[in-house]
Amino acid sequence: MDEQTKATLLSLLKLDLGISHNLRDSYFNNILVSAQNEIERTGVTMDFSNVDDQMLVVDYAAWSYRKRQEDIPLSRNLQIRINNRIIKKAGTPDAVT
C-alpha cells in the first residue's frame, strides 16, 4: 500500500469514527494495516486501486476500533462483503483449489 493510499484510508477511517484530530494517527495506521492483514488471511487479495477494497479495509478497521470498547460481532454487511470477495477469487483461473 503506497503512502497516498494510506493517507486516504486514514482520512476515511477518521471520518467514519468522527475524529478530526491527529493524536491517534499512528494507532489508526496500525489498525488499518492489521485490518488489511486479517482480511488477506481469509484468502482475499486486496487491490487498493479499487474503491470497494479501500472501503472494506476502512470498515473492518472501524469495526476493530469500536470492538475494543464493546463486544460487538462482525456486522453481517462486512461478513457478506468478505465472503463475496472470496467467492469472486474462487472463480478466477489463478484460484488455489
CA-based nearest residue to 96, from 45, 52, 38 = 45
- For the chain, give every domain's residue range: 3-90
Q: pTM, whole model, 2 decimals? A: 0.87
Task: Express each pLDDT in 24-65 by its tens digit.
Answer: 999 999 999 999 999 999 989 999 999 999 999 999 999 999
Give the rounded distance of the alpha carbon of 84 from its chain centre.
14
Is 39 in contact with 82 (CB distance < 8 Å)?
Answer: yes
The rounded distance, in Å, linking the Cα atoms of 1 and 18 is 24
Helix or strand run (H / E) with residue 32 = helix 25-41
